Structure 1
Amino acid sequence: MSRPIEDYALIGDTQTAALVSREGSIDWLCLPRFDSGACFAALLGEPGHGRWLLAPAGGTPPRVRRRYRKDSLVLETEFTTAEGVVRVVDCMPPRDCTPDLIRVVEGVKGQVSMHLELIIRFDYGSVVPWVTKNGAELQAVAGPDALSLYTPVKTHGHHLTTVADFTVSEGQRIPFVLRWHPSNEPAPEPLDALAAVADTEQWWREWFGHCTYQGPWSEPVRTSLMALKALTYAPTGGIVAAATTSLPERLGGIRNWDYRFCWLRDATFTLYALLLSGFREEALAWRDWLLRSVAGDPAKIQIMYGVAGERRLTELTLDWLPGYEHSRPVRTGNSAVTQFQLDVFGELADALFQARRVGIPGDLRAWNMTRELMDFLESGWKQPDEGLWEVRGPRRHFTHSKMMAWVAFDRAVRAVERFGREGPVERWRAIRDIIHAEICTRAWNSQRGAFTQSYDSSSLDASLLLMPLVGFLPHTDPRVVGTVRAIERDLVKDGFVRRYHTHEIEDGLPPGEGAFLACSFWLADNYVLQGRLDEAKGLFQRLLELRNDVGLLAEEYDPVAKRQLGNFPQAFSHVGLINTAFNLTEQLISPAIYRRGNGEEP
């Protein structure tokens, strides 16, 4: 049976990541990149699809406590048994060359019997490798992949599984190192596991030295920043939406998507989170990734790209995997990449404008890119699209999409006014005003007293909580107040916000999903703007309580089953947490909120 999503912790080397369960099993790991084939895929199937278990042997289930070492992605899982206490330390050192996975078993008290079970299955559990032993090295090879295990513990094969039983005494430390390399190249040399753990801890602590947040929510903000850094593909600066694929939005459902790619919709929110927190280098790398990835014909801009800017993300179904809690199909790639989403033009223009506004050095490419975007949008904004939520159904005139087209023209106008850029500003102002008037006419539903999901409809959409945050209308406007009230009434369930009613839209998929955590953070931001600080703090606290024991959030939450849902950990959720924490921190409320809104200094 699948472990709850919230039972997992994340370790990573800023090029890929692994998920470690509370029972000491690494059930997900793609090598050598986030979007590579998994060598451990038990998360989406059974142990036989690949995992690495390292835990106390048999008997009564141990009591488990775990944590990250302070300001680092070094995970400690402590097991208390009848025999004593043992600690498993897991990490992936930020890599110089090839990826390494380090596990160290530490005896804390007494003498504990331990069991190792290593099941390597390349290509998402479909390929059984050829395993050989050469002295202290155990090597598994299949196709282009090879893994080498180094440990002083004696292992042996049993039913296509590497196993070992050993004991650890108080004060003893037993290392395990798993190193990946291309199968056509020599295996890397053994690694000093204890030194690697210490170096990894130091690397993360030095990175955290840039953090500027000093507010009352330091721990959740710092953990969220660490998750964002772990989801960053260091060679390019791209940030993946999540470390996983196909974790369901509804248990047993089919809304299971691959999120190991970089979405343009995340651009501005991520930029804010990084800049507000002091991580200028990461923000600059993200800005540069954006410019490289979208280069070319503006009409062919995609909503997402691979970690290095790849455009072909063909969606495939992995029929041999039963899925997380039988949620099928399991998918790799994402066919939403072919969708037309108007909002990404606004996200991109806003991100480039805000980067320049807060002092990231100007780049001629950035303004040239903006000019190209505006040339396309002068007519392109009129087209229907698939919308922010990647609806797999007929295109329509989504309100959020039109609003983000307005944002694109607004930021282009402001770039001319503020930074002296050259462009047809009068024409842009005129189009900006036309879009604004059209939205206020066709997206406003007087019967509901709210803006609606698309033109001439009655359905609500939580994305419209962004209206005051992007500066489309002030938070005091009665139409904004009415929209927030309508969303509270119709989309808030058990205290959290759903994106929209899935049964109200034709997308060819069965209805049903959890509350979308980013939207719940947006509602808290609106409460801050409206001066409803007690409600904002209350909602924010409820959201913080959804985090698992090591501070991580998935994409969604099921308030009935009290389970996290969707891919994990989700960058969009953690970005929302960071930005809302800044908005709630008294001395930073105005800078955080209004940076996106009107583009002016508070």
Structure 2
Amino acid sequence: MTKNYAESSAPINDPKRSTSTLACGVVGNCALSALVDEMGRMVWCCLPRFDGDPVFNALLDESENGSLWSIEIENFARSEQFYEPNTAVLHTRLFDTDGRGIEITDVAPRFMSRDRMYRPLMLVRRVRPLDSAVRIRVRLRPRFDWGRQIPTVTQGSHHIRYVGAATTLRLNTDTSLSYILTESFFVLDQTANFLLGPDETLAEGIEDTARMFEKETIRYWRTWSRRLAVPLEWQDVVIRAAITLKMSLYEDTGAIIAAMTTSVPEAPGSSRNWDYRYCWLRDAFFVVRALNSLSEVGTMEDYMRWLTNVVARSKGGHIQPLYGIGLEEMLPELIVDHLPGYRGHTPVRVGNQAQEHYQHDVYGNIILGATQAFLDQRLFNRAGIAEFINLEAVGEQAFKVYAEPDAGMWELRSRARVHTSSV
């Protein structure tokens, strides 16, 4: 699993600190995810899927053309960031030079409602003063089509619409729309609520909805974490890692992404800036194995839905090392020339040419990832004879390509050889 995120409580003393630092918190609900840096700026979020258009792309574009959602405190001095314990709810605190502060709470709603998992394409931000009133500024600058398209902005009674050619976002808020539209500093003396999502009317009031979404999402994640079989040692970091892995699941199809970002370089100046927002069968197996070891088997069940489709479609033949999260086979690799890249490191890539590769270890990862689904009696939908027949064909294909040259797990692009990991 490519890991691009971390949580941090270290003070930040430079208000001009790069927006593209990887010391970010991540919030998600298994339908979308967003990265929030240590200064409370939402610098990455793709819609309507993990592999979609980044409506916030400041991670790859630090210029004024970059898109982000920032909540700033006047006379910023330092910040700290932490999660609500055992949840994916993130808190960022910003302090001014007089020691006064605000707390930003970021929530990607996820909880059971009407006998199904409710995971809307929505981000909720709640901002409260910690001690006394302070002045803040909200800069909400989404863009579409990889930053090429500035949306048309329209205003309602309690909402702002950001209208693009293919996407429209609606911000519902109980604070002044004028201050948001003009990006003016204003006095914050009570909790302000912001809900950004589809262009739909809320069923309840803004504050009530935001409060309920936060409460129910915390309840969901604490219940989920409580069921994990974790050791007493290092429990906090194990739970945090498990939550991060869970957020990599695209629940609609069961795919598990390798990372939530694209084009973060492996090393400065290396040009090895790859798009990892897809499902590698190898990486997905590692995620399933890790969560299974903590007695969290629900992710395996979801992944089996996706994997069964991949195996059935192969009809006993070649299986790619990765697919799109909607089972897309073609993931043409393109370069987005107009984005400057993470800290100026180009290129910015969309798609991944590795979908063309032959990587023979993929067959073993399929079998290993599916084995427990046949044996674990806790599952709602255990694998049966039909799945066994399909997997038997996978085994035959593995035998057929045994000791044949391939790209290997390091995904060699210019040559093929026999790899130990593939045999």
Aligned pairs (5 A) from 1:269-284: 269-284=286-301
Query: 1:234 Cα deviation (Å)?
Result: 1.4
Are the structure 2 counterparts of residues 375 and 98 from structure 1 closer, same or farther at C-alpha, using a change threshold of 3 Å?
same
Are the structure 2 counterparts of residues 305 and 214 from structure 1 closer, same or farther at C-alpha, using a change threshold of 3 Å?
same
**Distance in 2 (alpha carbons) for counterparts of 1:165 and 1:155:** 12
Query: 1:98 Cα deviation (Å)?
Result: 3.9
Superposition TM-score, scaled by structure 1 size: 0.62
Aligned pairs (5 A) from 1:106-255: 106-156=128-178, 163-169=183-189, 172-181=190-199, 191=206, 192-255=209-272
Match of 2:94 among 49, 71, 79: 79
1:488 alignment partner in structure 2: none
Structure 2 residue 369 is the aligned partner of structure 1 residue 351? yes
Mark the runs of 5 or more structure 1 residues left unpaired by the alignment.
403-602
Mark the runs of 5 or more structure 2 residues left unpaired by the alignment.
1-16, 111-116
| 1:342 partner amino acid | H
Query: 1:97 Cα deviation (Å)?
Result: 6.6
SS of the equivalent of 1:309 reads coil
Structure 2 residue 394 is the aligned partner of structure 1 residue 394? no
The answer to whether the 8 A contact 1:263-1:303 is kept is yes
The answer to whether the 8 A contact 1:111-1:168 is kept is yes
Query: 1:352 Cα deviation (Å)?
Result: 2.2
Query: 1:298 Cα deviation (Å)?
Result: 3.3
**Distance in 2 (alpha carbons) for counterparts of 1:303 and 1:63:** 44
1:43 alignment partner in structure 2: 59
Aligned pairs (5 A) from 1:394-543: 394-402=415-423
Query: 1:384 Cα deviation (Å)?
Result: 0.5
1:597 alignment partner in structure 2: none
**Distance in 2 (alpha carbons) for counterparts of 1:240 and 1:300:** 21
**Distance in 2 (alpha carbons) for counterparts of 1:392 and 1:2:** 33
Query: 1:358 Cα deviation (Å)?
Result: 4.6
The answer to whether the 8 A contact 2:69-2:141 is kept is yes
Are the structure 2 counterparts of residues 288 and 152 from structure 1 closer, same or farther at C-alpha, using a change threshold of 3 Å?
closer
Match of 1:378 among 399, 402, 410: 399
The C-alpha deviation readout for 1:455-475, integer Å capped at 9, x for no partner, is xxxxxxxxxxxxxxxxxxxxx
The C-alpha deviation readout for 1:335-365, integer Å capped at 9, x for no partner, is 1111000110111122223443455533223
The structure with the largest helix share of the pair is 1
The answer to whether the 8 A contact 2:29-2:119 is kept is no
1:431 alignment partner in structure 2: none
SS of the equivalent of 2:162 reads strand
**Distance in 2 (alpha carbons) for counterparts of 1:116 and 1:55:** 6
The answer to whether the 8 A contact 1:179-1:188 is kept is no
**Distance in 2 (alpha carbons) for counterparts of 1:268 and 1:262:** 10
Query: 1:162 Cα deviation (Å)?
Result: 5.3
1:22 alignment partner in structure 2: 38
User: Which sits farther off after the overlay, 290-299 or 10-19?
Assistant: 290-299
Structure 2 residue 306 is the aligned partner of structure 1 residue 289? yes
Structure 2 residue 99 is the aligned partner of structure 1 residue 90? no
Are the structure 2 counterparts of residues 74 and 162 from structure 1 closer, same or farther at C-alpha, using a change threshold of 3 Å?
farther
Structure 2 residue 282 is the aligned partner of structure 1 residue 265? yes
The C-alpha deviation readout for 1:284-333, integer Å capped at 9, x for no partner, is 22223211123223333111112232222121111110100111110111
Match of 1:308 among 326, 334, 340: 326
Structure 2 residue 78 is the aligned partner of structure 1 residue 63? yes
The answer to whether the 8 A contact 1:177-1:193 is kept is yes
SS of the equivalent of 1:324 reads coil
The answer to whether the 8 A contact 2:151-2:163 is kept is yes
SS of the equivalent of 2:283 reads helix
Query: 1:228 Cα deviation (Å)?
Result: 1.0
**Distance in 2 (alpha carbons) for counterparts of 1:83 and 1:150:** 30
SS of the equivalent of 2:131 reads strand
Aligned structure 1 segments of 4 or more residues deviating by more than 4 angstroms? 186-191, 357-360
SS of the equivalent of 2:132 reads strand
User: Which sits farther off after the overlay, 208-217 or 1-10?
Assistant: 1-10
1:503 alignment partner in structure 2: none
Are the structure 2 counterparts of residues 3 and 134 from structure 1 closer, same or farther at C-alpha, using a change threshold of 3 Å?
closer
The answer to whether the 8 A contact 1:119-1:162 is kept is no
Larger radius of gyration: 1
Match of 1:34 among 32, 41, 50: 50
Query: 1:262 Cα deviation (Å)?
Result: 0.9
**Distance in 1 (alpha carbons) for counterparts of 2:400 and 2:99:** 72
Aligned pairs (5 A) from 1:553-568: none
Superposition TM-score, scaled by structure 2 size: 0.87
| 1:75 partner amino acid | L
Query: 1:279 Cα deviation (Å)?
Result: 1.1
User: Which sits farther off after the overlay, 190-199 or 276-285?
Assistant: 190-199
Are the structure 2 counterparts of residues 350 and 212 from structure 1 closer, same or farther at C-alpha, using a change threshold of 3 Å?
same
Instruction: Give the percent of matched residue pairs that are identical in Structure 1 and Structure 2.
Output: 31
| 2:262 partner amino acid | T
Paired positions, count: 392
The answer to whether the 8 A contact 1:49-1:124 is kept is no
The answer to whether the 8 A contact 1:83-1:110 is kept is no
**Distance in 2 (alpha carbons) for counterparts of 1:368 and 1:84:** 64
The answer to whether the 8 A contact 1:294-1:302 is kept is no
| 2:390 partner amino acid | M
| 1:140 partner amino acid | Y
2:5 alignment partner in structure 1: none
SS of the equivalent of 2:133 reads strand
